[in-house]
Amino acid sequence: MKPKKIISVLLLMLVAAVIVSACSGGATRPSGSNETPGTTENNAETPKFDKKYRITTAAIEINEGADFESDKMLKYFNEKFNVEHELIPIARNQRKEVVNLWVSAGDLPDMCWFDMVYVDYKNFSEQGLIKALPDDLEERFPNLAKVLEKSGVGKEFRSRDPEGKLYAIPKVIYFDAPTEKVIAHTSVYYRKDWADKVGIKMDKLASTEEVAQLARAFIQQDPGGNGPGKTIGIAADNTRLTQMLVEPFNPCVTDFFRYEGKYIWGPAAPGTLDGLKVWQNFYREGLLHPDFYVMKKNDPVDLFVSGKAGILMHDGDGKVIQAVLHDFKAQHPDLDATEAIGMFAMKGPDGKHHVMESVNYWCGVIFNPNIEDDKLDRILHIMDYVATEEAQNIIRLGFEGIDWKREGDTIVSLRPKDESGNMILLKETYPSQPYWGFLVLTGDDFSLRDPNIPKAARDMAIETFKAKEKDGNIVPLDFDLRFFSGPNYNKKGTLGVVYDELAGLVLKEGDIETTWKEWLESKADIINAITEELNGALLNK
C-alpha cells in the first residue's frame, strides 16, 4: 500500500473517531444547571413548578442500561414536579473514592449520593465544594425537617458549622424506631425445627454458651439429615462472628471509645479477650464453618437457607427476614418456613444484650455548589415529598389501583407473579424504584409495616428488637468521636478492619491471650498516638 494512502486512511479513522465520539459522547456538560424554559405541563399541583428543570442525579442504586423511558414511577415524579431526571450510576465497589474525586475536582452532578463521612463533609463544606442548603429549609420543607430531626444529626451538623449551615441531607433510617434508641437489627436465625428435634428451647436472648450447646447438638445429632459431620453449626463471617461472640462482652470493640473517662481502642478493652476465647474455642471445636474467614457476604445465608447450617447471624429487619424465609421455602417446599426458623439475639454474661446505639441515618445526598437556588428548591420539594407517607406508599408498594388496592383495613397486592409464584419485584417494573427507595428514607422504617412482607416476618423483627431493648445495655452515641478529625485518627485504618484482625488472632496457633497481647503490643505506638490525640482534644470539652 502506498504510504500516502495509508496515512490518509489513518487520518480518516482519527477524524471519524472524533466525530463519532463527539456525537455519541455524554449528553451532560460539566457541573452547573441548565434549565429548559418549559411549557407548563399537567401540574394540578402548584403554580410554582412552572419552570422545567433537568436534574442530574448520581446514586448507587441506578443500574446500567436500565430502561427509564417507560418507567412509570419515574414519570410520575417527573410530571408531578415538572422536571426531567437524568440518572447516573456510580460504580459500586469504589463509590466513596469516585464521589470524593468528583467533589474535589468540582465536577458534581446536581445531586449526588454521599457516604457521609463527617470529616469529608466538613472539609468539603469548608472548601465550598458542596452547596449550602437554605437556612429556612426546616421551615419550608416540614418533612425534610422531620428527616433531619429523626436522623439525629440535623442540629449537630448545623451547630458544628461556623455559620450554622447545612450541606447534606442524611438518609434517615427510622421515623418510628421500634426501640427508643436506634440499634442494629442484626440477629441470629436458627432452625427451630431442628432445635425441637434435639430438645433444646431457645429464649429470645441467648448466651454464647447456649449457642454453643445448640450448635453442638446440631452437628452431633444432624437433625437435618445432612450426613455425619456435614452439618455446619454456625454460618457466619468475620463481621458476624465479632458481632455474635465478642460484642456480648464488649459492644464497643470495633472502634475507639470512651471507657472510664478516657478513650481507648476497642480491641484493647476488657471483655474483648473473653469474646476472643469463645470465638477460638468455637473454631477449634468445629462449631464454625472451617473457612469462615474467607466467606463473603451471602455465603453464610446460602448455607443456612439450603439447610447445611443451623445457625445464621444476619440482618434482622423485616425485608431481610422475608427474603430468608422466602428463599428457605423455595429450597424446602415441604416445610413451613415460619415454623422452621426462629430468631434470637445475643446476651452477655450479665444477661443483657449489649450493643452500641446506632446513628439513625445512612449516607446522604450532597449538591453541586454552583446549582441554582431555584433548581435546588425544586429538588428539595421532591425530596420533601418523598418523605411523606403518600410517596412512601407509592415507592414501596406501587400505584394504588395498579399494584395494590385497599380492602377495608388491609392492603391487597395486585402485583403479578412469576412462574414460581413469587411476586415480581417493584424494581423490575419500575427500574427507578430502588433510587426512590433510598433517596431520603432507607426503607427499614417501611419494612416494619410493609403489607407485602408477611406479618410473621415483621413480627419476628419487632419481637427481637423488643427483646434486645428490654434487657439491653445500649451504649449511647458519641458524636464528638464520630465527628472528630485529627492527623493520627484519620489514619486509623492502619490498625486494620477490626473484624478481620480479630479473626486473624483466632486463627493463630497457641494461646489466644498471648496472641492478643502481642498483637496489641505491635500496634501500641499507633494506638497510643491516636488515643493521645483523642484524649487531648475531646476530654476537655
Partner 1 sequence: MKVEGRKLAKSKTALDFKKGKDIIKDIRKAKYLYLLLLPGIIYYIVFHYFPMGGVIIAFKEYKANLGILGSPWIGLKNYSFVFKDPAFFNALKNTLVISVQRLIFQFPFPVIIALFFNEIRDGVYKRVLQTVFTFPHFLSWVIVAGILVNFMSFNGALNNIAELLGFERKSFLSDVNLFRPMLYITENWKNAGWQSIIYLAAITSISQEQYEAAEIDGCSRFKKMIFVTIPNIQNTIIILFILAVGRIMNAGFEQIFNMQNPAVKDISDILDTYIYRITFMGPADFSFSTAIGLFKSIINFILITATDRIAKGFGEEGLF
Partner 2 sequence: MHKRKKKRILHGRIDAFSVFIYITLGLWGLIILYPFYNAILISMVSQYEYLNTPFMLFPKNIDLTAYNVLLQGNRLLVGYRTTLIILLLGVPLNMFLTIGMAYPLSRNRFPGQKMIFYFVVFSMLFSGGLIPLYLVVRNLGLTNNILAIILITGINTFYLILMKNYFSSIPVSLEESAKIDGANDLYILFVIMLPLAKPILATVLLFYTVDRWNEWFYPMIFLRNRNMIPLQMILRNIVFETTSNEIADAAVGYRVQVFSDGIKMAAITLTMTPIMIVYPFVQKYFMKGIMLGSVKG
**β pairing state of 472-475 and 353-356:** parallel
Helix H or strand E segment including 145: helix 142-151
Find the part of the chain contacting partner 1 (CB under 8 A) among 93-101, 175-183, 184-192, 356-364.
Answer: 93-101
Closer by beta carbon to partner 2, 89 or else 286: 89
300 binds, among partner 1, partner 2, none (CB under 5 to 8 A by kind): none
313 binds, among partner 1, partner 2, none (CB under 5 to 8 A by kind): none
Return the residues of window 491-520 that contact partner 1 according to CB under 8 A: 491-497, 500-501, 503-504, 507-508
Instruction: Give CA 388 to chain center in angstroms.
Output: 21
User: What HEC string does 334-351 produce?
Assistant: CCCHHHHEEEEEECCCCC
Rounded-to-10 torsion of CA 362, 131, 380, 39: -140
CA distance 133 to 151: 17
Please, are residues 445 and 176 in contact by the beta-carbon 8 Å criterion? yes
If you ran DSSP here, which 8-state letter would residue 52 be given? B
Helix H or strand E segment including 302: helix 299-305
Closest separation between CB of residue 268 and partner 1, Å? 16
* 222 is a contact residue toward partner 2 (CB under 8 A): no
Count residues contacting partner 1 (CB under 8 A)?
43
**β pairing state of 341-346 and 187-191:** antiparallel
Closer by beta carbon to partner 2, 138 or else 247: 247
Find the part of the chain contacting partner 1 (CB under 8 A) among 24-32, 33-41, 424-432, 483-491.
Answer: 483-491
**β pairing state of 404-407 and 410-413:** antiparallel
Q: Which triple of cell numbers denotes residue 76?
A: 410520575
Among 220, 298, 422, 522, binds partner 1 (CB under 8 A): 522
Return the residues of window 235-254 that contact partner 2 according to CB under 8 A: 237, 239
Among 161, 210, 302, 463, binds partner 2 (CB under 8 A): 302
Closest separation between CB of residue 356 and partner 2, Å? 14
Map residues 82-121 to x or -, x wherever contact with partner 2 holds by CB under 8 A. Answer: -----xxx-xxxx---x--x--xxxx-x------------
Return the residues of window 35-54 that contact partner 1 according to CB under 8 A: none
428 binds, among partner 1, partner 2, none (CB under 5 to 8 A by kind): partner 2
DSSP code string of 416-471: -B-TTSPBPPHHHH-TTHHHHHTTSB-SHHHHTT-TTS-HHHHHHHHHHHHHHHHT
* 306 is a contact residue toward partner 2 (CB under 8 A): yes
Find the part of the chain contacting partner 2 (CB under 8 A) among 36-44, 63-71, 459-467, 504-512.
Answer: 63-71
* 442 is a contact residue toward partner 2 (CB under 8 A): yes
Please, are residues 237 and 297 in contact by the beta-carbon 8 Å criterion? yes
Query: What percent of the chain is helix, strand and coil (3-state, nearest 5)?
Result: 45, 15, 40
Closest separation between CB of residue 391 and partner 2, Å? 17
Closer by beta carbon to partner 1, 14 or else 19: 14
> Residues interacting with partner 1, by CB under 8 A?
96-97, 100, 103-106, 117, 119-120, 123-124, 127-129, 238, 289-291, 293-294, 485, 487-488, 490-497, 500-501, 503-504, 507-508, 522-523, 525-526, 529
